Amino acid sequence: MFQVGSKRKKGHRRGPTLCVKVWTLPEGVRLPVSLNNSGFPIGKNAAMFGNFLGTLARDGILAPLTYKKWKSIPKENKDVMWHIIKV
């Protein structure tokens, strides 16, 4: 239904996940992530781990959109991402 003169309420949009808590951890401090038998993260840090991986996937330098397949991304980029995940 369309009403003349009514204002449409704008919904609040969630901003990008930055995982500031993970990126600002002191050196050597790690958040434990448990895995189930299938290798999927479970437990209280599982969602944060997934969000953190999302920040890596959205990095335009490590994983630019010019590559349509994971196999096309240079090994050096993958090695850097893996190092970041392990640290």
Distance of CA 14 to the CA centre of its chain: 14
| Tens digit of each residue's pLDDT (9 = 90 or more) over 37-83 | 999 999 999 999 999 999 998 899 999 999 999 999 999 999 999 99
What is the per-residue pLDDT for 23? 86
Name the pTM for this structure: 0.71
Query: Which whole number is the average pLDDT over 1-19?
Result: 67
Using the predicted structure, report yes or no on whether residue 17 has a pLDDT greater than 70. yes
In DSSP terms, 35 is beta-bridged to 41
Asked if 46 and 37 touch (Cβ cutoff 8 Å), the reply is: no
* The predicted structure's pLDDT at residue 18: 82
